[in-house]
Structure 1
Amino acid sequence: MPEGHVIHRLARRYGAAFGGRPVVAESPQGRFADGAVLLDGQTPEGAEAHGKHLFVEFPAGWLHVHLGLYGKVAWGVPPVPAPVGQIRLRLANAANYADLRGPTVCEVLTPADKDLLHARLGPDPLRPDEDADKARAMIARSGQPIATLLMDQKVISGVGNIYRAEVLFRHNLDPRLPGRDLTDVQWKAIWEDLVVLMADGVAGGRIDTVRPEHMPEAMGRPPREDAHGGEVYVYRRAGLPCLVCGTEVRTEAVQSRNLFWCPRCQAAV
């Protein structure tokens, strides 16, 4: 599932491609036919993201998309080809088209419904003026492991498996530490780091979390080759030596997602 930086990049692209110009909207698959009728011929007024949720503003309401595990957007320029495959929503104008396939959610929301959805989501490190204390309060009340809480979108929005593993490593935190045992100083460091790391992800289009002194050129090691991201410390590095201490990186399933950590750098205190 795409992490939050991908959805923020997608919002920027939707805004740039379709903002301020009327669109043709259709649902070749048919599953979004009623929504497409509402949006067809309208002029999008902007786009934004909150965590893993994409919103595009139309006079008729807010297009809300959650890609989930299988959703994808394919982009192109006219002439717009005949639909191929299960396209839930196609938006097109004179300069661009975008085909949305396989999302978990594709719907039109009223402003009130959109507000309710935002209220159910945790603060997003990529949204300006977010209240990090809201997430802190939920974490402080919980006995669940911090690794679980960081993936809970009601606690923090946009953090996925990669950012979760990497931010815990960067702050030498045992992923099994109960949320209530996380200190205010540790939480502040996590949040501030996510703000920077995820903004870098938006800018560069990939996740890089390794500090300069541990990059390939500094350590004389080959660069990482993995379609899931750039240079990382522990994510998908199970069985390999930790870049900092040389201990074998471990992995285990936590709520059906693979967690990665270094048992030495992230040892319980």
Structure 2
Amino acid sequence: MPEGHSVHRIARQFDRNFVGRSVTASSPQGRFAEGAAVISGRAVTAVRAVGKQMFVEFDDDLWLRVHLGMYGAWDFAGEILVDPTIASANGRMGQTNQRGTDLDAPALDDDPILDDAGENSLTSIGAPRRTRVHVRMSEQTTGLGGDDAQWPPAPVGQVRLRLLTDLTCADLRGPTACELQTPDEVAATIAKLGPDPLVDDVAEGEERFTAVVRRKPTAIGLLLMDQSVVSGIGNVYRAELLFRARQNPHTPGRDVPEDVVRGLWRDWVRMLAIGVETGQMMTMDDLSPADYRKAMASRDDRHWVYHRAGLPCRVCGTAVIVEEAATRKLYWCPSCQA
């Protein structure tokens, strides 16, 4: 499932490529044909992400709500405009550091960092070009065409919604939610969500998050995944934030010391900023330049405990364990997080 950084990056891509432009909308799959007919011909006036949900505003106070869920994805094709606030192949990116995030640290060199799937971690959504790019859980960029490719491209798979301008095409496939909403319905949807550091006042968000967690008997490992408690955290960030705090995931929220709860929020603020800037859930700290490149090139070298079941903890050497928590896999170190 896409986590908060992914949805914010996709929203920024929509902001640069669709806001202020009229769209032709269709539903090649047919399941959103009526909604697409209502949208078609309208101009996109705003886009916003809150946690794992994205809201696109059209003329006449009409909103489109999209929740990608476990299997949803956006495909972009055509002229893709770069967002200058996120990393590019020859841009700048920083490292994760518990003492603070240096998002202005220079890239090591001008060579792209390719991961083991041949994907460029630095470009993420991609540089300006006429090609087809795929945006999924970590906004991995995959070229599927060139300047001579058919325009608009033929739909691939079961496309729920296609939004098309004269330069850019966005195809939505497999979302959990794709619906039209009124402003009041959008407000009601957002009101049910916990604070998002990129949407809400950070200090107020910390107070809301801390107050809710400190009164709940629910395990902190479950609370971090509850979108009504805090927006945007998924399975990867949940495991990594808890490890970074050396917090047992089974401790009831009300029993977690207040300073630890506040530390979790502040670390989420940092992790989310890094995820949006780099396009990767990069949670390792204090890496050498060589290790940083290695981590950006391989998902296996990016995290402390996530997806490391049975492997030695990077800190103490104890085998990382995995268990099921509310149908999701929970990774943690039984020694460091005892």
TM-score by length of 2: 0.74
1:237/1:260 contact within 8 Å kept: yes
Matching residue of 1:116: 188
Structure 2 vs 1, CA of residues 235 and 80 (structure 1 numbering), >3 Å: closer, same or farther? same
**Structure 2: unaligned runs, 5 residues or longer:** 79-149
Greater share of residues in helix = 1
The residue identity in structure 2 corresponding to 1:68 is: G
Q: How many residues align?
A: 264
Pairing of 1:1-269 with structure 2 (within 5 A): 1-60=1-60, 61-77=62-78, 79-129=151-201, 131-213=205-287, 217=291, 223=294, 231-267=302-338
Q: Deviation digits for residues 26-73 of structure 1, max 9, x if unmatched?
A: 111111111111111111012110111011111141110000111111
The 1-side partners of 2:287 and 2:176 are apart by: 40
The residue identity in structure 2 corresponding to 1:83 is: P
The CA RMSD measured in Å over matched residues stands at 2.0
2:282/2:296 contact within 8 Å kept: no
1:214/1:243 contact within 8 Å kept: no
Q: Which moved more, 1:119-128 or 1:36-45?
A: 119-128
The 2-side partners of 1:215 and 1:196 are apart by: 20
Q: Deviation digits for residues 227-257 of structure 1, max 9, x if unmatched?
A: 7686110000111111111111111111111
1:206/1:229 contact within 8 Å kept: no
Q: Which has the higher contact order (CA 8 A, sep 6+)?
A: 2
2:224/2:230 contact within 8 Å kept: yes
Question: 1:211 is paired with a residue of what secondary structure?
Answer: coil
The 2-side partners of 1:213 and 1:137 are apart by: 34
Structure 2 vs 1, CA of residues 16 and 101 (structure 1 numbering), >3 Å: closer, same or farther? same
Q: CA deviation at 1:132?
A: 2.7
The residue identity in structure 1 corresponding to 2:267 is: D
Q: Which moved more, 1:53-62 or 1:200-209?
A: 53-62
The residue identity in structure 2 corresponding to 1:100 is: L
Question: 1:16 is paired with a residue of what secondary structure?
Answer: helix
The 1-side partners of 2:175 and 2:243 are apart by: 31
Q: Identity of aligned pairs, percent?
A: 47
Question: 1:212 is paired with a residue of what secondary structure?
Answer: coil
